[in-house]
Structure 1
Amino acid sequence: MSDYPEDLKYSSEHEWVRAGNTATVRVGITEYAADQLGDIVFVSLPAVGESVAAGDACGELESTKSVSDLFSPVPGTVSAVNPLLEASPETINSDPYGDGWLFELELDSDADLDELMDADAYAEEAAG
């Protein structure tokens, strides 16, 4: 049993993907990643309309400790960014699976969410 939400898929770069009933997914970083970064003070997100491939660096998260690249876990076109984070980037630390989401992607037709890890596999990798 993991401490990570079971309804999400996870990347090895510590991003999560929440799929809905459409071809649009929501992307964020895991609680583990937020804890490792420390207090997030600035967020640079991809532009709406930008196309990204799986594994592409598409933004940055700046914390009191460091600046880390943000990677797209799946290919798609950015359809929304979280407007709350511009004024309150610390929301990522306090609610990484809810209000701290980063951006939404309209998935490319070849996107395969099954290539990502489930919660148990991610928990093993994060602990490893």
Structure 2
Amino acid sequence: MSRYFTDEHEWIDVSGDIATVGITDYAQEQLGDIVFVELPAEGKVFAKGDDAAVVESVKAASDVYAPISGEVVEANGALEDEPALVNSDAEEDGWFFKLRLTDTSELDELMDEAAYKEFVANL
């Protein structure tokens, strides 16, 4: 499995043609306590950069963007009952949705973990 990152602080794990998407630890720390997550419906198709989900915290609401193009094949229903999973485990159990990739070449535009860490360090 390969992990990629965006400059909007989403992470994406790719296994075959399925990509799991969530927000990074950095993003959830900036948001504070997560109180609500709005997830996309199964079957929804996104182009890279589209608004895909919404995360609300006690501080602010923020859009989560589709880091690549694809069709939603699953949303993390556990977040509806327990949005705080994003705070406690943003980069594992706090994932938002899974996409079936439509253009794997878009992955070339994303950062690897080392590049993302450098990006965050320079913020």
- The alpha-carbon deviation at position 75 of structure 1 amounts to 0.3
Find the counterpart in structure 2 of residue 62 from structure 1. Answer: 56
> Structure 1 residue 77 and structure 2 residue 71: aligned?
yes
Q: Which residue of 2 aligns with 1:19?
A: 14
Structure 1 residues 75 and 93 mapped into 2: Cα distance closer, same or farther (>3 Å)?
same
Q: How big is the shift at 1:109?
A: 3.6
Q: % of aligned pairs identical?
A: 46
CA RMSD of aligned residues (A): 1.4
Structure 1 residues 110, 99: CA separation in 2 closer, same or farther (over 3 Å shift)?
closer
Unaligned runs of 5+ in 2: none
Question: Which is richer in helix?
Answer: 2
Residue equivalent to 1:86:
80
The answer (yes or no) to whether the contact 2:39–2:97 under 8 Å persists in 1 is yes
SS of the residue corresponding to residue 43 of structure 1 reads strand
Question: What SS does structure 1 have at the residue aligned with 2:116?
Answer: helix
2:3 pairs with one of 5, 8, 11: 8
TM-score (normalised: structure 1): 0.90
1:107 aligns with 2:101: yes
Please give the secondary structure, in 1, of the residue aligned with 2:40. coil
Write the distance in 1 (CA, Å) between the matches of 2:94 and 2:62.
Answer: 16
What CA distance in whole angstroms lies between the structure 1 residues aligned with 2:54 and 2:121?
24
Q: Is the 8 A contact 2:68 2:103 kept in 1?
A: no
Number of aligned residues: 122
Q: Flag as ranges the 4+ runs of structure 1 deviating above 2 A.
A: 109-112
